[in-house]
Structure 1
Amino acid sequence: MEWLAMARHGESVGNVAWREAETQRLEEIDIGLRDPDVPLSETGRRQAEALGRRLAAMPPDERPTVVYSSPYVRAAETARIALAELDDLPVRYDERLRDRENGALYALTWRGITARFPEEAARKRLTGKFYYRPPGGESWADVALRLRSVLAEIQREHPDGRVLVVAHDAVVVLTRYIVERLSEKELLEIERTLVPNASLTLWARKDGELRLVTSNSTEHLDAADLPA
């Protein structure tokens, strides 16, 4: 590929509910939706518009030629809103780009996990974040496996393309793990830094390989006076 860019979805109502749960020291976030159905907040929609303006400001021969997205509502909405600035470039949805599945632990804060599933909290501490798989859910290694599949397919189909992917924080971080050939230790160090909503991480081809150009870039949000 000429370049590959990963954009995290804009702020979702789930992100808002999570912050409220942490502030109030709750065991569970008040969301009432399946993870695939969680939509953007009003701030998230404005962030997606700002992302679109950034993409539209690129010279025509540097803009995305193809766009992929997670089918989860918050990502799909971000892609739709952003691409309205680019004459509605078609989006290809792929379930392999979905967020990490937390299974029985979905919507629980760490406080909730330790209170309701103390044995799982202990197992996670022992196993470590990368390989721990919650009941009915996925480990980070599981997500990396499906990402390797979809990224290889994208490379085969668009060998000279400029590919934009709209997805989730775990997908962004694990794409760095795959593309940059990171170790588990390096991945977990990177993961300590939050991937901001509607941020852009981009790799460009150099000497036959994709090299990181920018990570977690939010200059378009700063220009619009929006939170990251």
Structure 2
Amino acid sequence: MSATTIHFVRHGEVHNPDHLLYERLPGFHLSDRGRRMAEATGRYLAENPQTNTAVAVFSSPLERTRETAGIILDHLNEARAELVVADPNGRRLPPLKLATDDRLIEAGNEFRGRRIGHGSGALWRPENLKLIRNLYKPTWGESYRQIAARMSAFAHEKIDAYAGRQIIVVSHESPIWSFRHLLETGHPEHNMLLRHAALASVTSVTFDCDTHQVMSITYVDPAANVA
């Protein structure tokens, strides 16, 4: 039985001193801690024989995911060069390159640019809270069903394209969790406050190549202790 594993990585912490809901806004980069988080996850992926033979790395087009993916790439390519990581046939693996895919982007959100907290325009002001009527089915932007559909289309395309191999995908909390929730429960709707996809964490999904059925889902948080 041939299987394809997709390792979904959430980006590291973002530099956001004004506490804005940045969503898809440009100009939001990893913080210093976020880079350290990406380094920790990059080391984990490069040292783990279950992940260091990945044959492709994809990311959302946003800065924070591309920066996280770039750090991961550096670690994986260093492992390929120094440890001579080989494929199952013993052949040396070539350096990886980053590819972006719009289907991996953060969820659309009508509150983009608003502050999270107190002050003028803050998300939690009463006039805004009126719009947040249902945490399971958000009415303020892209639906969980839409998010999961584009993530699912990406995943099923790559299951066939990389049959029997592993790839690494750097995305965002909402897309990763919405897709996982769909796979585990049959529906993507969920309470956004109960997600389990920490910054720089890795959610690995293994699919049967013939049926595209899920064989296993695992989760690790390599950056949990990064200060």
TM-score normalised to the size of structure 2? 0.75
2:116 aligned residue (103, 109, 122): 109
Please say if residues 36 and 72 of structure 1, whose CA atoms lie closer than 8 Å, have aligned partners that are also in contact.
yes
Distance, in Å, in 1 between the alignment partners of 2:107 and 2:145 is: 10
Equivalent position to 1:131, from 122, 137, 145:
137
Q: Any gaps of 5 or more consecutive residues in structure 1?
A: 19-28
Residues 21-80 of structure 1, C-alpha deviation per residue, up to 9 Å, x if partnerless? xxxxxxxx397x962331000111111111111111122886312111001000000000
Which residue does 2:182 correspond to in 1? Answer: 178
Equivalent residue for 2:15? Answer: 13
Q: Which residue of 1 aligns with 2:84?
A: none
Q: 2:43 aligns with which of 40, 48, 53?
A: 53
What SS is found at the alignment partner of 1:68?
strand
TM (norm. structure 1) is 0.75
Give 1:21's aligned residue: none
What SS is found at the alignment partner of 1:180?
A: helix
Please show how residues 66-215 of structure 1 align to structure 2 within 5 Å. Answer: 66-87=56-77, 88-109=95-116, 112-115=122-125, 118=127, 121-125=129-133, 128-134=134-140, 137-183=141-187, 187-188=190-191, 192-205=194-207, 209-215=213-219
Q: What percentage of aligned pairs have identical amino acids?
A: 25
Given that 2:57 and 2:99 are in contact with CA atoms closer than 8 Å, whether structure 1 keeps it comes out as yes
Q: Secondary structure at 2:123's aligned position in 1?
A: helix
- Structure 2 equivalent of residue 40 of structure 1: 30
Aligned equivalents of 1:149 and 1:4: distance in 2? 13
- TM-superposed deviation, 1:110: 6.5
Q: Give the match for residue 25 of structure 1.
A: none
Secondary structure at the residue paired with 1:36?
A: coil
Pick closer, same or farther for the CA change 1:76–1:47 going to 2, 3 Å.
same
Q: Which has the higher helix share?
A: 1
Per-residue deviation at 1:173?
A: 0.3
- Cα gap change, 1:106 to 1:149, in 2 (>3 Å): farther
Measure, in 1, the Cα distance between the counterparts of 2:208 and 2:198: 26
Tell me the secondary structure at the aligned position of residue 132 of structure 2.
helix
Change (3 A) 1:85 1:55: same
Structure 2 unaligned blocks of 5 or more: 78-94
Contact 2:5/2:167 (8 A) holds in 1: yes
Deviations 1:190-221 (A, max 9, x none): 85145211111112346963234422x22x33
* Contact in 1 for aligned 2:59/2:100 (Cα 8 Å): yes
The separation in 1 between residues aligned to 2:177 and 2:50, in whole angstroms, is 28
> Hey, what's the Cα distance between the residues in 2 that align with 1:34 and 1:193?
20
Contact preservation (8 Å) 2:11, 2:64: yes
